[in-house]
Amino acid sequence: MQQAIFAIVVLITFGIAFRKYLSLYRNIMLGTQEPIEGQKSERLKNTLFIALGQKKMFKRPLAAVLHLFIYVAFLFTQVELIEIFIDGFFGQHRFFHDKLGVVYTVLINFIEFLSLATLIATLIFLARRNLLKIPRFVKPEMEGWPKLDGNLILYSEILLVTFIFLMNSADMQHNPDLGFFLSGQIAPLWGDAISDSSLHLAERVGWWGHILVVFGLINYLPYSKHLHILLAFPNTYYARLSAKGEMKNMPEIQQEVASMFDPDAAFAEPDMNAPIPKFGVSDVFDLHWTQLLAAYTCTECGRCTSVCPANMTGKKLSPRKIMMDVRDRSEEIGKNIALNKTEFIDNEQQEKTSALTAENYNDSKNLFDYISQEELLACTTCNACIEACPVMISPVDIIVELRRNAILELSQSPEEWNSMFNAIENNGAPWAFSPDDRDKWIAEADL
């Protein structure tokens, strides 16, 4: 009976999860397709050292060590999870125990010590978020669901550890030869008078409790910032390899500037069939799919915001919020397409189709409904946020592209910037004096 129930629960869990993860993939693929540049060896190196090795986490040692306990415990408990799956499907109990012998005992003991360290780290993280109120965890964008989400995962960690020790200590009370040290210290609390059937029930509660929490997390992750557990690896692999301060040029602008130096360009006939170029981005459809992947990978740790000079001086900009806004906009569009809300089909396409797709989507909204001009203009493009991010996310790239669209297509640049643009166009420099005057100043400075 338990095998049948387990099989049914597994099918339901992964059936529901598959649908949600598929929708996540579709949301990420709302972005544009561009060539992935750079050597694969360099990308694999980033994945190995940054995603798997947690290299950038150690710029803040305390949080890094605590996170490492949870991370390593997560990796090693997969062995116990595999055993639970085998036991569940085939009606076994401790399938690896007889086959691995002392290696099994050492491995479970290591997992138990990691679980204890995880419990301690989890309690500290809860205190940092809710009692100590570390500044980066109490920013405006962290109110409501983001705060609850962070706490829910920590509560689930406590449940996982509790069920592991419940299962192992009941087994140890029944069979001390298992040799689990920490569970062996808990086992006497059951008392000698407890019956074998009660111990078996306690062990089953721990076994089922542990796997059900795991199944719950599998389905919860797509709604949580903790999706980075899975997406950190592809995100670091596809993260750009160019220098952090390097900005991508706009081909249309490059071509326009090049034509100014070509005497024959003035007599060239324009291509009347060429599509109207778009400068920058205004919505998720214009972003590269790897940028949407980065938005879903964001851990909401706030390291980027905590080092942002604009945010530190009281400005509205928060790089973390930029990534959260991009993700929220992707979710909004993805849900509308999944529900086929035909009222969002572009007016010109309504007579041609009854299916809402990314190509005909138009809800009269875009990213500027999420991200204000004040936020975009505050960015100094110093790249501190990119340097601080533990999984190589670049909010700056998105900010720059949004700013380009706001200025070049919406004419939303402040007057001070317009003066600078005019000076650059007329004088070749952001200062409002002629090149001759500038040359004289250089000569005087040399003297």
Q: How far apart are CA 362 and CA 343, in angstroms?
A: 9
- pLDDT for the residue 429: 80
Specify the CATH number of the domain 282-412.
1.10.1060
For residues 55 and 46, give the distance between their C-alpha atoms in angstroms, rounded to a whole number: 9
What DSSP letter does each residue of 255-309 carry, written as one string? HHHHHHT-TTGGGSPP-TTSPPP--S-SSGGGSBHHHHHHHHH-----HHHHH-H
Q: How far apart are CA 102 and CA 177, in angstroms?
A: 11
Average pLDDT over residues 141-159: 95
* pLDDT band per the 50, 70, 90 thresholds, residue 14: very high
At 191 the pLDDT is: 85
In the predicted structure, residue 263 carries a pLDDT above the cut 80: no
Q: Determine the length of the chain.
A: 447
Q: How many beta carbons lie within 10 A of that of residue 60, not counting itself?
A: 15
Question: Pseudo-torsion of CA 382, 385, 388, 394, nearest 10°?
Answer: -110
The structure tokens 């390097």 sit at: 246
Half-sphere exposure for 107 (CA within 13 Å, toward CB) = 17
Domain assignments of the chain as residue spans, ordered by start? 2-238, 282-412, 414-447
The mean per-residue pLDDT over the stretch 392-407 comes to 95
User: Which positions ≥6 away from 15 have C-beta within 8 Å?
Assistant: none
| 308 pLDDT more than 80 | yes
Tens digit of each residue's pLDDT (9 = 90 or more) over 216-233: 999 999 999 999 999 999
Least confident of 100-104, 217-221, 395-399, 430-434: 430-434
Is the pTM higher than 0.85? yes
Can you tell me the distance from the alpha carbon of 424 to that of 431, in angstroms, rounded to the nearest whole number? 7
